Structure 1
């Protein structure tokens, strides 16, 4: 038992590791217990579908901290040890090894899990998901031996996997229920650019499709049958149809759960001594004025710092704008901001969409809701300033590469409304 001064962190991924780091950086000298169900020490997930999957980086590069960091900073890291229950009133967690640990404050950084495909054959050998390090290793090995694969889902994971497979010379058929890839995230204007990117690199994109079953022989997947009866042969099937927050522990413990663990701007849950950060947190964003749950690396990197400081009693709130990035073939992209589907009325492009060197801005009533820079660099700060400025921007000037973005950032002052 670590004692009632212990700060316990459930989830030993990037978010959990950064929370432990912040606690020590901020001078907390009490026990810190970091619990994770994986056998690996905390690592970052973006390389698993990017550089690590492509064989461009070594395994050691994915870890958040060097091997000895946890012992050096007196962080009790317990891998292969899942939290199985929370006694919120008793300030204890139950562990998979049968033991219990008391805590003063608890951070839930339990992340998310791949959404499973509910069709016959989904449990066959050769049906792959990409979430953990071992998943990336398995997929990397598959891309070495396969000649053709099917990717179900044209979201970020599906498209990054497609790019890796095509770069390895593997034939890829992408199946997507929507009419374009990333349609819900980017809208039609920008989604079609990503469709063109993958078509140009030889991927077979099929939209408006419904998967009826994954076919197989001798217990191994050998194809996908669509709702219209079409059969697509494959050596393996990669499923990327989204993720779901790992919030069951919180729900059973009686915490407020709605599309993740609902927390305030300090990342505090409905129980004053329990916090949440990363994929699992549906957090109130003070700039956007609403609860949002962001499933991207930047949240797992930055939110835990706010949560850890709040656990220490500091007056802090998490107000960073959502940010994510992707690398596919020769396209690199960064996105800053937040746009709900259908919430914008205009997309403004600056640069060349044909050459895929541009910035796209999503606007509503002249206000910039989000910006995405594609193969254009060192513009994240002015894009963020435009998003947080909260005032109308001239669309013609926004589209003109000759007008510096910094000149368009609204100066502080009263709203024009």
Structure 2
């Protein structure tokens, strides 16, 4: 292989996008994707939705069929583990000792699920949730289990709980914190979501500490909470967050800090080594701070941008972070950066079928929004406003459903 080839480590969406976009931009170097997974790059959102509900097949999650990668002249090396990066010689070393040279190396190693450190965490029937293999294992287990416990009320946990309930299982969702979907940073909306889940038959336990998972021999049969309550369950899905897979880059000398630290062109501190997707901590020009984002749209946008950049494009990365989720029939979209917000002003409600949560800083700056049931032009208008970070003088106007977002903010 040519020594100036582009090597992409990782088999997720970011890896797929960088390779595909590089070819679309007429990049001529050899491109190789090295992935430890058995499948070609795939989309993760269906794993907790259509695939878990039994509405989609495995292959439908693929970014593109295997044969199309051959047509794009991109080599896929699946079920292949990278042991180390050698920045001094511009090579990666694979399990077994083979070395691949690179001209540019893209690290898109993603993240892995955090695990539980409580008794019973190793029982048969306890599953983390990240890969296609994980999703199919949970889906298979759900065919036999009539009851399930979902541990964690954030995106993965909430989505999995909804899908398992739609499959007819009795589901208990256990969240250590005081709200469901805390990343939304909108307590009033979180309370509405908890009510929605209870209406759908999910038992939602907030501020509940899991003490142990219990079993009959090696098989899961339930759980015990710190307050003594017990839960029957023959399937457990653990969704307590992820940690970025930085070890390869860190061992090679790259700067890491809750992810591989990169600049505005996704360059790491190592020459000719880039990082994108869930593993990358990048300077978000739309918020003015370093961020690491674990969502589909971010992986897609960063991968596409870097692919064009490696083919010679010079445009600045300036994507407003956006992500979405579907909980039962409720679709939510989040724009901007809701974490610095000190207040969420909620207009509308889930019951009404439309809502906007305006996220404001202590100074009254609009930095993010959560949206449900609004037209595309309203969502686009919100995105433009968030980029400008206007200061809201009269928050009462935000509640007026007769005002467009720009009109409400301007007042």
Are 1:358 and 2:355 an aligned pair?
Answer: yes
Indicate how the Cα distance of structure 1 residues 305 and 124 shifts in structure 2: closer, same or farther if over 3 A, else same: same
TM-score, scaled relative to structure 1: 0.93
Residues 370 and 358 (structure 1), Cα distance of their counterparts in 2 relative to 1, 3 Å cut: same
State which of 343, 346, 349 in structure 1 corresponds to 2:346: 349
Q: How does 1:161-172 map to 2 (within 5 A)?
A: 161-172=160-171
State the shift of 1:208 in Å. 1.5
Q: CA deviation at 1:184?
A: 4.5
Structure 1 match to 2:95? 96
CA drift of 1:316 comes to 3.3
Instruction: Give the superposition deviation at 1:97.
Output: 3.9
Report the CA distance between 1:58 and its aligned residue: 2.8
Aligned-residue offset at 1:408: 5.7
Equivalence map 1:183-332=2 (5 Å) = 183-332=182-331
Contact 1:266–1:306 (CA<8 Å) still a contact in 2? no
Aligned equivalents of 1:287, 1:330: Cα separation in 2? 31
Determine if contact 2:128/2:134 at 8 Å carries over to the other structure. Answer: yes
Instruction: Give the structure 1 partner of residue 12 of structure 2.
Output: 13
My pick for the range that moved more, 238-247 or 224-233, is: 224-233
Query: Partners of 1:231 and 1:352 in 2: how far apart?
Result: 34
Question: What value does the CA root-mean-square deviation take over the aligned residues?
Answer: 1.7
Corresponding residue number in structure 2 for 1:398: 398
* Distance in 2, Cα, partners of 1:19 & 1:184: 28
Q: 8 Å contact 1:385–1:409 — kept in the other structure?
A: no
1:281–1:293 contact (8 Å) kept in structure 2: yes
* Segment drifting more, 51-60 vs 103-112: 51-60
Look up the SS of the partner of 2:115 in the other structure.
Answer: coil
| Structure 1 segments of 4+ aligned residues over 4 angstroms from their partners | 406-410
Displacement of 1:397: 3.6
Normalised TM-score (structure 2): 0.94
Residues matched between the structures, number: 407
Q: Give unmatched runs, 5+ long, in structure 1.
A: 411-417
Q: Give, in whole Å, the separation in 2 of the partners of 1:195 and 1:97.
A: 50
- 1:68-106 Cα shifts (integer Å, max 9, x gaps): 111111101111112110001210001124311000100
Segment of structure 1 superposing worse, 373-382 or 287-296: 373-382
* 8 Å contact kept, 2:150–2:171: yes
Shift of 1:377: 3.6
Unaligned runs of 5+ in 2: none
Contact 1:267 / 1:306 at 8 angstroms: preserved in 2? Answer: no
8 Å contact kept, 2:343–2:360: yes
Structure with more contact order per residue of length (Cα contacts < 8 Å, sep ≥ 6): 2
**Higher mean C-alpha displacement, 215-224 vs 272-281:** 215-224
